Structure 1
Amino acid sequence: MTKDLIFIFLICISLFALEANAQIDQSGFVSIDCGIPQGSNYTDVATGLQYVSDSGFIDTGSNATISSEFHSDGLEQQLYTLTSFPEGKRNCYTIRVPEGKGKKYLIRASFLYGNYDGKSQLLINFDLHLGVDFWTTIQIVNASVPLYGEIIHILSSDFVQVCLVNKDRGTPFISALELRLLNTTIYKTTSGSLQTFVRLDLGSTATQLVRYKDDIYDRLWWPYNNVANTISLSTTSTIDNTNSYLPPSKVLSTAITADNDTDGISLWWEPANSTDEYYIYLHFAEIEANHVNRQFNIYFDGELYEGAFAPEYMSVTTILSTSALKTKDRHQISLNKTGNSIRQPTINAIELYKVVKQIINPQTNDLDVEAIMNVKSTYGVKKNWQGDPCGPVADIWKGVTCNFDGDLPTIISLDLSSSEIQGTISPYITSLTNLETLNLSSNQLTGEVPANLSQLAFLQELDLSNNQLTGKVPANLAQLPFLKKLYLKENSFSEKIPEELLAKSKNGSLDLRYDEFRPPKASNNLSAGALAGIIASVVVLGILALLLLLWFIIRRKKNKKGEQIIKSIDELPDDLSLKKLISVTGKITGTERTVQSPNIALELKNRQFTYSQVLHMTNNFQRVLGKGGFGTVYLGYVDNRDVAVKMLSPSSVQGFKEFRAEASLLMSIHHKNLISIVGYCVEGTHIGIIYEYMANRSLDMQLSDRNPNALTWEERLHIALDAAQGLEYLHHGCQPPIIHRDIKSSNILLDDKFQAKLADFGLSRTLPTGEGSHVTTIIAGSPGYLDPDYYRTNKLTEKSDVYSFGVVLLEIITGRHLLGKHDKIYVITWVNGMINDNGDVSKIIDPRLGGEVDVNSAKRIVALAMACVSLEPTNRPAISVVVTIIKQCLRQMIDNYDSN
């Protein structure tokens, strides 16, 4: 076969693409000309599109203009200027679009080097990121050829962030950035986004590409008339282009047809990677008046896709692949005339898109993004505040700490200490509603402390020391339920510290640091009274110092046990096995546990890793998988497999206790539905556990509405069964029985085959033989999943785990969060309300299942879940009964499917 579609590669030299999106009018357009001065907005003469300066979307970069030798009459106005980024690793545009989350956009970035810096550089190479995820690599190989990156992408946020990432291979730059809102019904995929591979106006001999206003979505159509063994056709008549894809009539007015020496048209291309998958869109319109009996077959990779196809006269028909062409070294599209056809096949235009695997890294909560952007603008913060505040993990904003436990990362700590910020305390800070720590110390802040800081309901630490704050300290700060530290020293407050705060300080619930209020002196002369006051103060300070010394001695005695624990860690020899570690440190969560196997010491010894090995397997802790109560979990690689490495925070004594409990437990029990331990590290203060890696992360992530691939009903039941079997083993397969005590959807992990395994055993407890069916212990677990009876009586039983599992079952059934994202109603309350209102179980089933649920099994699972969350423990089924019922439901569902 001839080199029919080598044209794809020729075009790809100048066409670099990602995804497509647009809108019928400019209300869905964002058009940014990079490098033009602020305020110099304009309407493009050629297109009528309104362009604005990029100065309002980014606060870094240098404006530049391409060299005059690269100016030409046909060059788009947006390509004459650019913004370059010689400083910083990551520079990001942040764009808030009027129609954002859930909408489909074509996002296009344009690049023309044009020797703007006079260095005649070639092979400039840098990365583009879309939000927190890698988008593509930009490689400049020709100073005079524009490069375009396009991607068709459904937004997961109201903010679009496009970042240029420096790879030390030349200075990143950008000429234009454009967003085009698309109809959500077009360019559908089964998964992932679409990267433009090629979009061709076939048969056209024009020198300019076709775009807006001819194309209402402002797609770029490249003229191409170099397909072997074809000739061009054209018409001056207007063609009806009114299908959902709306290809421009101007594009449809030209076409190619096979010459008389061949029976068809053949187009082919070779993917850069054999694993690449593609979607095809072919646009046909009959433009020859004498078109009698034109009929042909359409083949994709040798398989008949459309038979005996006859294009409509002066009207468009779009033939598209409903699923991606699978991986192959070479793809081919063939148009072959049928035996009854007189005329040769014809085609007007083609679009090819490469599938970009679904982007799953979540962007920060929109409300937090908007708030922190306003704080950044208010104070003119530079640092590395570019792109998403919480991602990628390696580029989290300096001074910002994020919580990744939920569907969307949230900002829980803001440290702007010693940042040379001025003015009043920004009101936007109170919009960071998840803040636990706020440090604004050692700046030049003035004015009063805002009373609305009391809206930060989760605030634990507030440091405003060493500023120039005046007025009074709000008394309502004492109402913050979790506030433990309040530092106010070295300011100029005009009133005393409120009694409410002083009272909390006196009872020990608040670490309050402040300067004694001193009213302005009436005279500079030192009176006898003042002198007496000074002497009294010295005496008082002496007494306080003595009391502090006594308190310290007493506290040291109380903390002796904790110190011995930490000391024992530091003094452990490198070759000490985990069994010895456990024996040195004593009891685990109040109950003695010993490893049962006589060969366990050797087994544990073989599983020990040095800290240097941990560094090697995690590539110096490069990728964070998550953060928990006592430390951070990293992705690692050892023994030819991925692992998850949980490292204990050196300062976490409680974390060490949980580590100790979890490590000893996992070393002594084994089950297919419990997470397995690969090894551990105990070296000085470096303590960690290495687990098997669970590729599909946690159940709560899979149930999230951010996951485009909703779990099927069958998958959900299998996951529920796996988790229940893991619990059954803990309750009835272990002696003594083990209570997990923290069953929740985020602690149910899924491997690459979606097999579920219970994880996070740091709070687990045993039910010692002979001590009855419960153990009395302090309350521990996760709110919302916690057994109300356990909370009321402090009595922990197997039924406490059953209650938590029932809550998870309700999440599996409904697809709702534990606490509704919008209505803030707990899932148990919501389900109860729905069932009591209409009794229709179908109303509570996750709507993403689209009705593809076996109704009978669903009713039984709902009834089972409600029994599990009964307030009376005796009314809850044993976990073995739960396992039996889920198995029956699965079997019933499969039988129903088979019979249908």
Structure 2
Amino acid sequence: MPHNESSYTEESTGLVFSSDADFIRSGKGGRTKSEDPDSGIANTKPYKYLTYFPEGTRNCYNLTVMQGTHYLIRAVFVYGNYDDLKQKPKFDLYLGPNFWTTINLQDIFGNVNRIYVPDDRNNDAIHIILGAIRPLIDDSYTTKMGSLKLFYRWYFSNTDSIVRYPDDVHDRLWHSDFWEDDMTEINTTTPVNTKNAFDLPQAIISKAGIAKGAGKSWSRGWSMQNQDYVHVYLHFAEIQVLKPKDTREFSILWNDATINYSYSPPEFMADTVPIRTSTKCDDLCYLELVRGKSSSLPPSISAMEVFGVLQLPQSETDENDVSAFKNIQATYRLQKTNWQGDPCVPINYMWTGLNCSNVVPSVPPRIISIDFYSYGLNGTIASDIQYLSQLQKLNLSGNNFSGSIPQTLRNMQKNGLTLILDKTEAGDGNGKKKLLVPILATAASVGLITAVLLLIILFYRTKRSSKDPRSSIVSNKRSFTYEEVTVMTNNFERTLGEGGFGVVYHGNLNGNEQVAVKVLSQSSAQGYKQFKAEVDLLLRVHHINLVSLVGYCDEGQHLVLVYEYMSNGNLKQHLSGNIDYFIFTLRHVLTRFNTHTHILMTTGEYATTPLSWENRLRIAAETAQGLEYLHIGCKPPMIHRDIKSTNILLDKNFQAKLGDFGLSRSFPVGSETHVSTNIAGSPGYLDPEYYRTNWLTEKSDVFSFGVVLLEIITSQPVIDHTREKSHIGEWVGFRLTNGDIKNIVDPSLIGDYDSSSVWKALELAISCVSPSSSGRPNMSQVANELQECLLSENSRKEGKHDVDSKSSVELSTSFGTKHTPDAR
């Protein structure tokens, strides 16, 4: 509505409507034509006015929200021939940096159904095109990842009316669904207790549909195209006063799989049974309530909600970069048409004049280049540029700056920043004037010299490769002689570990840098092929969560890899219940010192106290980011093939880094979906689908990571033939039949964790170890979900949530059993 008009209350609902003028900087006001036969609902007062966007490629609403709160966003779109052109538009809608949906107003009335924003957003604003927004209860519509996009919301009553505000304080829209052929309505005037997380209106929960016929079941089916994840919320209440011998008991089946046996709705109390799936409904989503054999009454249901899960893999731009750039923008009073929303993403709508890094979706993009050529800038160079720590190129030419180049900017030049300042007069700070000389000529000279050197190196490399098959291992990493390796390891004095490749020794480089030295055993079955694979991969990848290669030795029969030293060993050594490593360390100490007095001093290098839940989540999240980089950031993508807890290494700050790349394989790009290869991996971690088909995909790594995540949660061995189920995945599935995580979570945590984050991590792990690769998430989804878990645990640590926080989300994946926990 026009910005100069005051807010008003809509009569039929009591909702307050106000102008959008304070939420967006672009757009023009329009009004629907009442005589237009396609106006429909647009002729009602809330829809008479609209905002349209004839200019710019992106137009963003900026709605302030409270961090850590769920929100319902309802956006409504209508044409109404406001421009007399009778040309209905089509456009894309984004939630922040992530694609939401495409709006196509070829229909008479276009209404984007509801979307629920998850409770873990780190920013304090949402950028959308058009919307209404209101908060929801935190434990209601929780998601493993992304947001929920409403498919439909039904209540089961023979009433042809929509229930919404003020009956529903959250302004959800409930549509009646009633088939007289298979249902009979029951209702009550007795108030029903609705104080669960979903806060259902009395107008909904006081009614229910029951299956018609004494022995019949009740079912509904619907089609949902292109939905990888589906969430269903079933709302029940027993609203009849039951006689002493009466019982209402039924099973709940989802796509023919029983997810809840012998369910009985609580008397005059609302109860919600969620179903969360990570598999597609092939042709039809199918829900069935089947009457129990001992039940005297048929199944009943009050309402049902169905959602598709909208993935939000793309992180927003680093908040420090955004803050710095906005300060620069304010300093020069700059404003461009498309400078709305996130500066770097979506990539296709990046702000004019910027270039950003955006390799891995789960890692926030960084501003790496600014082009302010001929922007009409004057005055001094903005000091906030120094806070763009990843800036690689800055073009300030064609402007009218005064003053000297700030020292901080000169320091950035020394560290590699390309600064372009041509034909610009600037003072030296003492009233004198001097010309700021561009460094383009210098850069060109350096580039020419570099090119010549590269050609020389390439010539000799090519010449050598014709004689030596090992010469493909080339890098700027240091090549060591075997004699140097002997010196750095003090004649291979201290052993750190041993694997299929050979023995890993402790070393010192130049007397001050600790390293880990992996020496190929002469009897190694892996041999030179794995040695070369690992070197080749580590020479071309770099990520904070991948172990760095310091150098290598390739001298005759001596094959050695030299890595950065990870002083806290591997993940497995720090999970409780694992005493093998402590025994190894103790034996090492007694061998060297033969005395008890030095044990505490020497073993203090490794923490023997079990990791906290917060640290476990952080290690899992960092490992997932490293693996995500291999799958997405590498060109071509890489599959690790040997993800296990002993290959997740921890540095002095317990930062996780993925190691041991000897089995890694490149993954095809384009139309191919897998690599056919011989089976390789570790028992217990090996993807059963890969083992069965020899088809290797990135989902094989996801399965192995899921096993590691189960280790992190339980501290159980991956394979143990003495327990009920030998494999950890099957064991967890078996234990879940009791619906309680306390008999699954590592007891050494003594309950010091946010139960909601544990449930989320457990559900994620189970989805990762799905027997079918199509049922597993990708590593971007895994990384995002673990960040959610970590934020939830951090919030608890900061006192934002109760330690025993509950959530009403239910597992839908089983391992050899059809039972799942009733609810959290």
Change in 2 beyond 3 A, CA 1:350/1:562: closer
Judge conservation of contact 2:217–2:289 (CA < 8 Å) in 1.
yes
Matched, 1:747 2:621: no
Alignment of 1:387-786 (within 5 A): 387-404=341-358, 407-421=363-377, 429=385, 431-443=387-399, 454=407, 459-460=412-413, 485=419, 487=421, 489-491=423-425, 493=427, 496=430, 512-513=436-437, 562=450, 564=452, 585-587=459-461, 593-594=465-466, 596=468, 661=474, 733=527, 747=542
Matched, 1:214 2:172: no
Counterpart of 2:131 in 1: which secondary structure? strand
Query: Which residue matches 1:696?
Result: none
* Structure 1 gap segments, 5+ residues each: 1-34, 164-173, 461-479, 503-510, 515-550, 569-581, 601-658, 666-716, 751-755, 774-796, 815-831, 870-876, 881-885
Number of residue pairs the alignment of both structures matches:
584
Change in 2 beyond 3 A, CA 1:730/1:383: farther
Letter in 2 for 1:402: C
Q: Cα offset for 1:128?
A: 1.7
More deviation, 247-256/730-739: 730-739
Query: Which residue matches 2:30?
Result: 64
* Structure (1 or 2) with the larger CA radius of gyration: 1
Change in 2 beyond 3 A, CA 1:745/1:244: farther
**TM-score of the pair, normalised by structure 2:** 0.56
Separation in 2 of the partners of 1:197 and 1:565?
Answer: 61
Judge conservation of contact 2:230–2:278 (CA < 8 Å) in 1.
yes
Separation in 2 of the partners of 1:224 and 1:181?
Answer: 27
Judge conservation of contact 1:256–1:347 (CA < 8 Å) in 2.
yes
Judge conservation of contact 1:130–1:160 (CA < 8 Å) in 2.
no
Separation in 2 of the partners of 1:228 and 1:119?
Answer: 47
Query: Which residue matches 1:92?
Result: 60
More deviation, 227-236/278-287: 227-236
Counterpart of 2:118 in 1: which secondary structure? strand
Change in 2 beyond 3 A, CA 1:295/1:456: farther
Change in 2 beyond 3 A, CA 1:317/1:735: closer
What whole-Å deviation, never above 9, does each CA across 1:448-506 have from its counterpart, x for those lacking one?
67x9x55569632xxxxxxxxxxxxxxxxxxx76667573744474954789xx9xxxx
Judge conservation of contact 1:420–1:444 (CA < 8 Å) in 2.
yes
Separation in 2 of the partners of 1:303 and 1:837?
Answer: 47
What whole-Å deviation, never above 9, does each CA across 1:285-317 have from its counterpart, x for those lacking one?
233457773514233233444444443343212
* Aligned counterpart for 2:197 among listed residues 244, 257, 271: 244
Change in 2 beyond 3 A, CA 1:86/1:803: same
Change in 2 beyond 3 A, CA 1:318/1:225: same
Query: Which residue matches 1:543?
Result: none
Query: Which residue matches 1:620?
Result: none
Change in 2 beyond 3 A, CA 1:333/1:411: same
Separation in 2 of the partners of 1:387 and 1:561?
Answer: 42
Query: Which residue matches 1:263?
Result: 216
Change in 2 beyond 3 A, CA 1:398/1:144: closer
Give identity over the alignment, percent: 24
Separation in 2 of the partners of 1:63 and 1:183?
Answer: 34
Judge conservation of contact 2:421–2:436 (CA < 8 Å) in 1.
yes
* Aligned counterpart for 1:899 among listed residues 715, 722, 727: 722
Judge conservation of contact 2:567–2:605 (CA < 8 Å) in 1.
no
* Aligned counterpart for 2:333 among listed residues 349, 371, 379: 379
Q: Cα offset for 1:240?
A: 1.2
Separation in 2 of the partners of 1:382 and 1:811?
Answer: 52
Q: Cα offset for 1:229?
A: 2.9
Separation in 1 of the partners of 2:354 and 2:572?
Answer: 31
Separation in 2 of the partners of 1:265 and 1:765?
Answer: 67
Which structure is higher in RCO with an 8 Å CA cutoff and minimum separation 6? 2
What is the RMSD computed on CA atoms of the aligned residues?
A: 5.9
Q: Cα offset for 1:895?
A: 6.7
Q: Cα offset for 1:323?
A: 4.2
Letter in 2 for 1:840: T
Letter in 1 for 2:50: L
Q: Cα offset for 1:49?
A: 5.5
Letter in 1 for 2:210: T
Change in 2 beyond 3 A, CA 1:354/1:442: same
Counterpart of 1:363 in 2: which secondary structure? coil
Separation in 2 of the partners of 1:178 and 1:720?
Answer: 62
* Aligned counterpart for 1:115 among listed residues 68, 81, 103: 81
Counterpart of 2:55 in 1: which secondary structure? coil
Judge conservation of contact 2:570–2:649 (CA < 8 Å) in 1.
no
* Aligned counterpart for 1:129 among listed residues 89, 94, 106: 94
* Aligned counterpart for 2:299 among listed residues 345, 349, 356: 345
Alignment of 1:123-272 (within 5 A): 124-144=89-109, 146-158=111-123, 160-162=125-127, 176-203=130-157, 205=159, 207-211=161-165, 213-226=166-179, 228-260=181-213, 263-272=216-225
Judge conservation of contact 2:376–2:399 (CA < 8 Å) in 1.
yes
Judge conservation of contact 1:311–1:317 (CA < 8 Å) in 2.
yes
Change in 2 beyond 3 A, CA 1:494/1:206: same
Alignment of 1:254-333 (within 5 A): 254-260=207-213, 263-273=216-226, 276-288=228-240, 293=246, 295-297=248-250, 298-324=252-278, 326-333=280-287
Q: Cα offset for 1:245?
A: 1.9
Judge conservation of contact 1:743–1:805 (CA < 8 Å) in 2.
no
Judge conservation of contact 1:152–1:193 (CA < 8 Å) in 2.
yes
What whole-Å deviation, never above 9, does each CA across 1:259-310 have from its counterpart, x for those lacking one?
458834321112224x644222111223345777351423323344444444
Alignment of 1:15-26 (within 5 A): none
Counterpart of 2:268 in 1: which secondary structure? coil
What whole-Å deviation, never above 9, does each CA across 1:201-255 have from its counterpart, x for those lacking one?
32162534413x4334433322334564324344444321011222222221333
Change in 2 beyond 3 A, CA 1:181/1:594: farther
Q: Cα offset for 1:37?
A: 2.2
What whole-Å deviation, never above 9, does each CA across 1:398-422 have from its counterpart, x for those lacking one?
2112234783211132222212457
